[in-house]
Amino acid sequence: MLKLNQSYHWGQLQQLLPRYRQQHLRELFAEPGNRFERYSLEVDNILLDYSKNCITEPILTHLFGLTRDMNLPAAVEAMFSGELINKTEQRAVLHTALRNRSNVPVMVNQTDVMPAINTELQRMRLLVEQVRNGDWVGYSGKPITDVVNIGIGGSNLGPRMVTEALRAYADDRIRVHFISNVDGADISRVLASISPGQVLFIVASKTFTTTETMLNAHTARNWLLAATGEQIALKHHFIAVSSNRPLAKAFGIAPENIFTLWDWVGGRYSFWSAIGLPIAIYLGFAQFEALLSGAHAMDQHFRYQPLEKNAPVILALVGIWNSLLLKAQSQVILPYDASLASFPAYIQQADMESNGKHVDRQGQPVDYATGPIIWGHSGMDGQHAFYQFLHQGKVLVPTDFIGSVASSVPLGNHHEQLISNCFAQSEALMNGLSEVEVSAQLKAQGMDATAIAKLAPHKIHAGNRPSNTLLLQRLEPRSLGALIALYEHKIMVQGVLWDICSFDQWGVALGKTLAQAILAELTSTTCHRHDDSTRGLIDYFKAARQPRDD
Ligand code: G6Q
């Protein structure tokens, strides 16, 4: 297997680096030709403008060459066709099958997975309609008013982000709540706001062993049983989404209330399955299907469009070039849409859990950068917080701006103001403000030469800070589905080029076991060996909880 940094095009890109490290984006825009026309494309009503990156024809030629060096087309086909590409767990990776609206067979180990997916979708539809129409009743005969999702990580972030993002499309027939971490304040707040006779708990856990989820699920179950006094109430108020039916049953979930999650769906790619039930209940099943359709449209684009016209491939290549050229270690995502406030956190998990890897697929250490730190915030609010760093800080952070042509909640000229900020920021990051421009501005304000010389350095913006802008027609279920799939595939492409295993998560698995030994020590006299710091923290915590004499 060819190693990335031994490939021909990688070598060519390395040779281009010194020249382009001197190149300012302003200069590229001053060259003949329209960069926007050349370096933007539209897919399913999403515009991707990547012209404000240090991209030129020779660079693109070698970046696309890299995709061929690393056999990207074959890897894409292997994923869509159900090969066991998650090598360390010997699993297929088939979130794309969950939204395969064409329904063509997808084979895993000689079995077509589509019939099982369609059965679960039918079951979801039925449940969603029953809950939303008031036909699913609690133990006391009253309809459900609140759905509480109990899950963490991939079993929480997706449904939480999408319900928030698409709030404008909900009819608020059913309220949805999310409990993820084990802070008692979280679950207590939710339980205090709902009625035991009218709540539906969804225990969302692929493994049904995640301690945080299990603790919260047991607390919710005890709360319900204390209120109802009857075991039978569980059947009316608890459903589960899991690949571990025996444990879900042992918990007390009625078998007919267990929805299936397959081992070929990674947690962070799972809300397209029954993990998406909170979304479907909140918005209605038709809207959930629109979300799937948008993702499917992006899947088709990704699978069949030539690499040079392929939005996820281009986004991935621009990211790889930025990490090579600028040694960019992070990537900020800035939605100019308050509904997408949780989108950066969602992509942060998808990207960092997938591509935060240090060895290649053969287990050999890699000596090039892999996945960057992903972070972000609602752009408009970020402007008044950390944008100072983006404009004038010493660390260069490539940016993804996300906005929409039309608002899903129009109000006066709010939307135009919002988007004008989005465009202005990307322009300013690219152009900067030179010494000549700053001095001219200050002179026009009547400042003398000495004062200008003192102040000007502080007001200079170097610019040359790259960004992509993604513009949706409108934030709605279909476009959100497509946008998420775009990022999912970008992550996949980068993983293939870096030759890493994007679909396992051993770092998360480690975290799931770490706390257990310490938990035993916090609640008993058990004592394990630890370093001085950890020992000190445990002892301090235990001592501080003892009643004091004073
Ligand atoms: C996602 C990760 C991780 C996982 C959670 C919850 O890809 O594997 O975030 O989703 O740890 O796991 P369970 O669904 O098994 O409770």
Within 10 angstroms of residue 90's Cβ, the number of other Cβ atoms is 8
- Read off the pLDDT band of 515 (50, 70, 90): confident
Residue 434 has pLDDT above 80, yes or no: yes
Residue 303 has pLDDT above 80, yes or no: yes
Strands (E), 349-430: 373-376, 399-406
| 269 alpha carbon – ligand 1 mean position (Å) | 10
Q: Residue 240's closest CA among 270, 211, 216, 261?
A: 261
Residue 84 has pLDDT above 90, yes or no: yes
- For residues 137-149, give the mean pLDDT: 96
Residue 155 Cβ inside 6 Å of ligand 1? The answer reads: yes
Give the model confidence (pLDDT) of 516-527 as tens digits.
889 999 988 888
Residue 374, C-beta contacts closer than 8 angstroms, at least 6 positions apart: 330, 331, 332, 333, 344, 347, 348, 351, 352
Q: Residue 466's closest CA among 113, 167, 153, 55?
A: 55
Residue 150 has pLDDT above 70, yes or no: yes
Best mutation site among 211, 492, 505, 506 for ligand 1 pocket (most ligand atoms within 8 Å of CB) = 505
Give the model confidence (pLDDT) of 318-349 as tens digits.
999 999 989 999 999 999 999 999 999 999 99
Residue 139, C-beta contacts closer than 8 angstroms, at least 6 positions apart: 197, 228, 230, 232, 233, 236, 237
The pLDDT assigned to 547 comes to: 79
Residue 254, C-beta contacts closer than 8 angstroms, at least 6 positions apart: 234, 235, 238
| 241 alpha carbon – ligand 1 mean position (Å) | 12
Residue 550 has pLDDT above 70, yes or no: no
Residue 39, C-beta contacts closer than 8 angstroms, at least 6 positions apart: 49, 50, 51, 53, 55
Give counts: helices (H), strands (E), the chain: 24, 13
Give the model confidence (pLDDT) of 359-404 as tens digits.
999 999 999 999 999 999 999 999 999 999 999 999 999 999 999 9
Residue 172 has pLDDT above 90, yes or no: no
Which one of the listed residues 24, 249, 461, 512 is annotated catalytic? 512
The pLDDT assigned to 8 comes to: 96
Phi, psi angle pair for 202, to nearest 5°? -110, 115
Residue 52 has pLDDT above 90, yes or no: yes
- Read off the pLDDT band of 309 (50, 70, 90): very high
Which three-class secondary structure state does DSSP give residue 311? helix
* Token pair belonging to 383: 């402007």
CA distances for 368 relative to 3, 58, 334, 506, angstroms = 11, 22, 26, 20
Residue 528 has pLDDT above 90, yes or no: no
The pLDDT assigned to 525 comes to: 87
Strands (E), 170-286: 175-179, 199-204, 238-242, 258-260
CA atoms of 484 and 488, how far apart (whole Å): 6
Active-site annotation holds for 230: no
Active-site annotation holds for 489: no
* Token pair belonging to 469: 């802008």
| 263 alpha carbon – ligand 1 mean position (Å) | 12
- DSSP assigned state of 230: -
Averaged pLDDT score across all residues of the chain: 96
**506-522 helix and 211-228 helix, angle to the nearest 10 degrees:** 60
Ligand 1, atom nearest to 152 Cα: 6
Angle 345-320-470 (CA atoms, 0-180°, nearest 5)?
Answer: 55
Residue 158, C-beta contacts closer than 8 angstroms, at least 6 positions apart: 268, 270, 271, 275, 276, 346
Contact 179, 187 (CB under 8 A): yes
- Read off the pLDDT band of 424 (50, 70, 90): very high
CA atoms of 475 and 381, how far apart (whole Å): 19
Give the model confidence (pLDDT) of 240-257 as tens digits.
999 999 999 999 999 999
Contact 220, 212 (CB under 8 A): no
Name which residue sits closest to atom 13 of ligand 1, judged by CA. Answer: 205
Q: Residue 236's closest CA among 373, 382, 138?
A: 138
Share of the chain above pLDDT 70, in %: 99
- Read off the pLDDT band of 474 (50, 70, 90): very high
Ligand 1, atom nearest to 153 Cα: 9
The pLDDT assigned to 235 comes to: 96
The pLDDT assigned to 549 comes to: 66
Active-site annotation holds for 384: yes
Using CB atoms within 10 Å of the CB of residue 24, give its burial: 0 to 12 exposed, 13 to 18 middle, 19+ buried. middle
- Read off the pLDDT band of 2 (50, 70, 90): confident
The structure's pTM equals 0.96
- For residues 27-44, give the mean pLDDT: 97
Give the model confidence (pLDDT) of 96-109 as tens digits.
999 999 999 999 99
| 95 alpha carbon – ligand 1 mean position (Å) | 15
- Read off the pLDDT band of 546 (50, 70, 90): confident
